[in-house]
Amino acid sequence: MTTPVLFDVPGPKARRRIRIGTAVGVVVVVAIAALVLVRLAGNGQLEPQRWAVLFDPASQVPQALGQALLRTLQVAIVGMVLATVLGLLLAVGRLSEHRWVRVVVTTLIEFFRAVPLLVLIFALYFLLPKFGIRLSAFWALVGGLVLYNAAVLAEIFRAGILSVDRGQREAAYGLGMRKTQVMTLVLLPQAVRRMLPVLIAQLVVLLKDTSLGFIISFPELLRGARGLVEFFTLQFGNQYTFQLYVAAAVIYIAINLVLSWLARYVERRTRGNEKTAATTPTELPADVQMGGGGGAVPAAR
């Protein structure tokens, strides 16, 4: 940390106050943690055998959680790939020279960003069957995620394409390339490389949003844990409930922390290189990071 601006470098008195504050702070934190632990222990939640079930292959729990994790990742990967492709198309469409393409694409982007993600998923899952198109929970979830994330990614890609130096495009045209060639051979590759950290950050958001599958009963990580809980509760009462929920949450947080770290690593790697370094901000806006269909309403820009 550099010299703090908000407070003086503490002198002896301030240091004593900070030490007291530190002690009080630690005591409060420890007290809260202790209270939670005591409550948990009082209910027998901390007994080793209750936690052992998470790691005991004979209980089928690790396998079931692994399968659920696999399905979560499957949704995330399929969703991310499709969203990237659709996002690229939308970004190019938004930069089109034809006015009507621009208008249509912009409307689509704004619409999908303005609607809560869960409403999109509900629409695919509950409304489409009324029109004879029956989607499985998997595709309803993926579909909703793709539509929303493609709209967000389109804006990111557009910023990336616009950030490529004008000379690049002019030189490409000067070499006699066609519009499509300029876009696909010159502009997009550079834009995508620059936007890589943001792309990974968006993957974190998408991965978080796969948990919405829980609500439409897609057996992803959370629903998987819930299913196990219901199964065990029938047999042994709810003695494993808490442990399974904690396991699901820890897996989510761990994956997301790793991905966040990866995004930062990639950004550090690319920053030194002026060809690939992003000129636009590489942090996703906070409202996009919130997931769940955040980051819309253009009027607030």
Partner 1 sequence: MDFVRENADLFLDAFLTTLGLSLLAGLLALVLGTLLAAMRVSPIPPLRGLATFYVETFRNTPLTVVFFFIIFGLPQIDFVIGFFPGAVLSVGLYTAAFVCEAVRSGVNAVSGGQAEAARALGLTFGQSLREVVLPQAFRTVVPPLGNVLIAMVKNTSIAAGFSVSDLSSLLPRLVNADAGDLTLVLVGVVVGYMVITLPSALAVNRIERRVAILR
Which residues ranging from 194 to 253 are in contact with partner 1 (CB under 8 A)? 204, 208-212, 214-215, 222, 241-242, 245, 248-249, 252-253
Least distance CB 197 / partner 1 (angstroms): 16
| DSSP conformation letters of 252-286 | HHHHHHHHHHHHHHHHHHHHT-TTTS-SS--SPPH
Instruction: Establish if 257 lies at the interface with partner 1 (CB under 8 A).
Output: yes
Q: Which stretch binds partner 1 (CB under 8 A): 81-89, 100-108, 122-130, 172-180?
A: 122-130
Instruction: Establish if 285 lies at the interface with partner 1 (CB under 8 A).
Output: yes
Instruction: Establish if 286 lies at the interface with partner 1 (CB under 8 A).
Output: yes
Pick the closer one to partner 1 by CB: 133 or 185: 133
Pick the closer one to partner 1 by CB: 26 or 185: 26
Pick the closer one to partner 1 by CB: 113 or 188: 113
Q: How many CA atoms lie within 13 A of 170 on its CB side?
A: 3
Q: Which stretch binds partner 1 (CB under 8 A): 90-98, 119-127, 134-142, 154-162?
A: 119-127
Instruction: Establish if 256 lies at the interface with partner 1 (CB under 8 A).
Output: yes
List, in order, residues 6 or more apart from 168 with CB less than 8 Å away.
186, 187, 190
Pick the closer one to partner 1 by CB: 172 or 218: 218
* Residue pair 103/285 in contact by the 8 Å Cβ criterion: no
Which residues ranging from 126 to 185 are in contact with partner 1 (CB under 8 A)? 126-127, 130-131
**HEC profile of 103-171:** HHHHHHHHHHHHCCHHHHHHHHHHHHHHHCCCCCHHHHHHHHHHHHHHHHHHHHHHHHHHHCCHHHHHH
How large is the C-alpha radius of gyration of the chain?
25
Pick the closer one to partner 1 by CB: 187 or 206: 206
List, in order, residues 6 or more apart from 135 with CB less than 8 Å away.
124, 125, 128, 129, 143
Pick the closer one to partner 1 by CB: 162 or 290: 290
> Whole-angstrom Cα distance, residue 262 to residue 69?
20
Least distance CB 279 / partner 1 (angstroms): 19
> Whole-angstrom Cα distance, residue 263 to residue 63?
29
The single-letter code of the amino acid at 259 is L
Residues that bind partner 1 (CB under 8 A): 4-8, 10, 14, 18, 21-22, 25-26, 29, 36, 39-40, 43, 45, 114-119, 122-123, 126-127, 130-131, 204, 208-212, 214-215, 222, 241-242, 245, 248-249, 252-253, 256-257, 260, 285-297, 299-301
